Amino acid sequence: MKWFKIIFLAVGLILALMLASTIMGIVYGALWYLFLAGIIGLAGFGAYKFFAKNDSPQLSGKNTAVEIEIESARQALEKYKRKLKLK
């Protein structure tokens, strides 16, 4: 009876190791495909940046928001300077 327990334990251990190696193979395979997808994605992004236009699309003749804010700040500063000179 003791020999049967040892044999069943050995067979169970072998089956558990086979299952673990199968699961590890599936995980490594999935990671490999994710790695390849990342490499292809990086290559595509690099090609897009390389072939895309370098200038950003803007409305012709219009200032950007930063330029508009700077101009309004300049106008406000000039207004306050004029008020201080009158006093």
Task: Indicate whether 71 belongs to any domain.
Answer: yes
Q: Sign of torsion, CA 76 78 82 85? A: positive
The pLDDT value given to residue 12: 95
State the total domains in the chain: 1
Q: Is residue 7 part of a domain?
A: yes
Q: How far apart are the first and last CA of the chain?
A: 111
Q: Does the residue 36 lie in any domain?
A: yes
Higher pLDDT, 48 or 65: 48
Find out whether 71 and 63 touch, Cβ atoms under 8 Å.
Answer: yes
The reply to whether the predicted model has a pTM over 0.75 is: no
d(CA 68, CA 28): 54
Q: What is the pLDDT of residues 7-63, one digit of tens each?
A: 999 999 999 999 999 999 999 999 999 999 999 999 999 999 888 876 655 555 566
Beta-carbon-side half-sphere exposure of residue 62 (alpha carbons within 13 Å): 6
Domain encompassing residue 74:
2-51+63-86
Q: Is residue 56 part of a domain?
A: no
